[in-house]
């Protein structure tokens, strides 16, 4: 097992310890969340843990079902006890995040906002010390993608429609939308950028998760887990 997998597993184990019996939790998407699901399944078998989960993607839902986790939704439980998710970038100083590489950013942001506590699980390579930078994923209504791309360019970004690796054509989200990855370099004012992007008609949501993370578990090469709190 590579150090990255060990680090992800360690951070997932740390986050799983936050889950209390009879809790209703939201689960994000991605490789580190897959480790969280395995940890929760083990706790169910060994400790008798009883929980209900709101998955943010079909992939996560399938993993939860395969692991015998009981599913629920935001209609039945509009307020969640905890959400656990990964991130593409974590700003060490602010705990602001960039998310969306997996394509489930809108549902993930809804679940994060619906939760009393939002825990993030990452390996140390996802932590940045000089502020957020690079590509910001944006979920876009298909009808408006051309206009949105033009407006993102006007804001100084370099947008690119995300294409599928397994078939010809764009990636389609679980909401039936497109994803545009907008390169902005260093994001000097993330709140302003997030606001300006969301003001563009046709933009559903951005991958800027600002002021949402309460705790970040960072799996390190040493095998230890660094805990960052807001």
Residues identified as active-site: 108
User: Phi and psi (nearest 5°) for 198?
Assistant: -70, -15
Q: For residues 31 and 103, is the Cβ–Cβ distance under 8 A?
A: no
- Give the DSSP H/E element, type plus range, for residue 16: helix 3-16
Q: For residues 123 and 90, is the Cβ–Cβ distance under 8 A?
A: no
**Torsion over CA of 219, 164, 173 and 208, rounded to 10 degrees?**
50
Cα 90 to chain centroid distance, Å, stands at 11
């Amino acid at each position: 097992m590579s150090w990255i997998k060990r680090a992800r597993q360690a951070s997932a184990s740390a986050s799983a310890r936050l889950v209390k019996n009879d809790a209703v939790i939201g689960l994000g998407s991605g490789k580190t969340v897959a480790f969280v699901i395995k940890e929760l399944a083990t706790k169910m078998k060994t400790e008798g843990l009883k929980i209900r989960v709101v998955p943010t993607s079909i992939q996560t839902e399938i993993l939860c079902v395969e692991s015998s986790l009981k599913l629920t939704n935001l209609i039945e439980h509009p307020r969640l006890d905890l959400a656990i998710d990964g991130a593409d970038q974590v700003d060490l100083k602010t705990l602001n995040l960039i998310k969306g590489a997996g394509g489930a950013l809108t549902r993930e942001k809804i679940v994060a906002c619906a939760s009393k506590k939002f825990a993030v699980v990452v390996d140390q390579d996802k932590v940045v010390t000089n502020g957020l930078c690079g590509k910001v994923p944006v979920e876009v209504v298909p009808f408006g993608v051309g206009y949105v791309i033009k407006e993102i360019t006007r804001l100084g970004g370099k947008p690119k429609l995300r294409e599928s690796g397994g078939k010809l054509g764009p990636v389609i989200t679980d909401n039936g939308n497109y994803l545009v990855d907008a390169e902005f370099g260093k994001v000097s004012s993330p709140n302003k950028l997030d606001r300006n992007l969301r003001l563009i008609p046709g933009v559903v949501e951005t991958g800027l998760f600002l002021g949402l993370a309460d705790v970040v578990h960072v799996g390190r090469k040493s095998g230890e887990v660094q805990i960052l709190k807001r």
